[in-house]
Amino acid sequence: MAQIVDYELFKVPPRWLFLRIETSDGTTGWGEPILEGRAETVKTAVEELMDGYLLGEESSRIEDHWQRMYRGGFYRGGPVLMSAIAGIDQALWDIKGKYSGEPVYDLLGGQSREQVPLYKKIVPDEIEDVAELASDAVDEGFRALKLLNTYQTSPIESTADIDAICESLAVAREAVGREVNIGIDLHGHVSAGMAPRVLSRLEEYDPMFVEEPVRPEHVRKLDDASNHNIPVAFGERLYSRWEFHPHLEAGRLDIAQPDISHAGGISEIVNIASMAETYGTQLMINCSVGPIAYAATSQLGHHLPNAVQQPAQGERYIDAYVENVDALKSEQGHVSLSDEPGLGIEIDEAGVREHAGKGSDWRTPLRRHNDGSLVEW
């Protein structure tokens, strides 16, 4: 195997950060180390890790590199460091696959399924949009939907707030019937005290899961609602196996959702998946960023037996950065991978360089309640 000799980082629209690693024989690997709204911060962390640990090292020693990046400093974990490690890890697996001529899922032990079921994210601006968006997704072949609840509750929810949350799921259910699975993402907007009541109300509409009914720091409140009958999903704001473990042990996590670009990359999600399997917990690997991360997600989706579903890739900007775009597109609500080596995609490097630095300084928008207080994300 060759040595790591160079790397480059590219901030590209709409809000992504791409990493290109090159070895001494000219082989390149790509990763996506990004924390939405913190691209410059993660970029600096990647530079520190590459300059301090990886340049001049053998590219093949992925596990050792992961351990050095994570354990080589006194301070560990957190969204910035783990997102930086994630993108580097993706790129190293891409290189390893290209050297061996095998896709990453084969390097990990092969496929456990021929195709990965997808869910389509439904993001309505108004309640009136829900039925049409849900029906259109089913017409495209999707048999699973995730409804993003855009209704912002008050700091102390009223009955009207709870009614509004339930209405969006009720409208979607009526539009597509009971043959289609529907999850609902509350995005942590519900207060810890009210979450048990909301879960109880949502049971009527048989959701596939409820995602982030409360923010991660308050999920222990769900222990008091152990009599609800809805699978609870969360994890995109957890960053390692050590953060997932207490929730698995407490039995409050039915579907784990580690993010491929936030939770330490391919290597760490394999660890999280193995641990989750011992608790009977399924995985829906989260991927809310770009095509490189999505390719890595799909590699894991084909390999991991408990990675039962993943989001569909949005097609915005994909043509600008990927040459073999068909490798990422869904067909009848599924994605199937080719046997192309590495992550299975061919990056259009000229396209990446052309778009680098153009309009990609995205920041999380700040919102306020009617009384002027801050709305939390």
Q: Are strands 310-311 and 282-283 parallel, antiparallel or unpaired?
A: unpaired
CA–CA separation, 243 vs 77, rounded Å?
9
Strand partners, 255: 233, 282
Residues in the chain, how many? 377
107 vs 122: CA distance, rounded Å: 34
**Per-residue pLDDT tens digits for 232-260:** 999 999 999 999 999 999 999 999 999 99
Is 373 inside a domain boundary?
no
Question: How confident is the model over 308-336, as a mean pLDDT?
Answer: 85
- Contact by Cβ (8 Å): 365, 332: no
Interatomic CA distance for residues 291 and 313, integer angstroms = 8
Domain endpoint, select from 105, 123, 158: 105
**Predicted local distance difference test score (pLDDT) of residue 150:** 60
Can you give the pLDDT at residue 353?
Answer: 95
Domain of residue 75, residue span = 4-105
| Residues 24 and 43: beta-carbon distance below 8 Å | no
Instruction: Provide mean pLDDT across the span 294-305.
Output: 96
Q: Give the strand pairing for 4-12 and 16-23.
A: antiparallel
Whether pLDDT at 77 is above 70: yes
When the pLDDT of each residue in the chain is averaged and rounded to a whole number, the result is 92
Q: Quick check: is 48 in a domain? A: yes
- Shared domain check, 142 and 46: no
pLDDT band at 174 (very low <50, low <70, confident <90, very high): very high
Note whether 270 and 335 are same-domain residues: yes
Is residue 148 included in any domain, yes or no? Answer: yes
82 and 131 inside one domain: no
pLDDT at 113 over 70: yes
**Residue 1 clears pLDDT 80, i.e. is over it:** no
Which residue has better confidence, 37 or 42?
42
On whether both 114 and 65 belong to a single domain, the answer is no
Distance CA 268, CA 71 (A): 13
DSSP structure class, residue 331 = B
Query: Could you tell me if 47 and 170 lie in one domain?
Result: no
* 315 band by pLDDT with thresholds 50, 70 and 90: low
Residue 273 sits at φ, ψ, to 5 deg, of -65, -45
Between 266 and 188, name the one with better pLDDT. Answer: 266
Question: Would you say residue 291 has pLDDT above 60?
Answer: yes
pLDDT of the residue at 377: 75
Domain CATH for 57: 3.30.390.10
CA–CA gap between residue 19 and residue 90 (Å, rounded): 9
Task: Report the range of poorest mean pLDDT among 22-26, 147-151, 206-210, 330-334.
Answer: 147-151
Q: Assess whether 158 and 302 both reside in one domain.
A: yes
- Please indicate, yes or no, if residue 259 is contained in any of the structural domains: yes
Adjacent-strand bridge partners of 331: 334
Taking residues 16-20, report their average pLDDT.
96
Is a pLDDT exceeding 90 seen at residue 212?
A: yes
What is the structure's pLDDT at 328?
84
What integer is the mean pLDDT of 187-213?
89
Measured CA to CA, the distance from residue 310 to residue 304 in angstroms comes to 12
Give the CATH number for residue 211: 3.20.20.120
Task: Decide if 360 is inside a domain.
Answer: no
pTM above 0.85, yes or no: yes
Give the number of other CB atoms < 10 A from CB of residue 277: 17
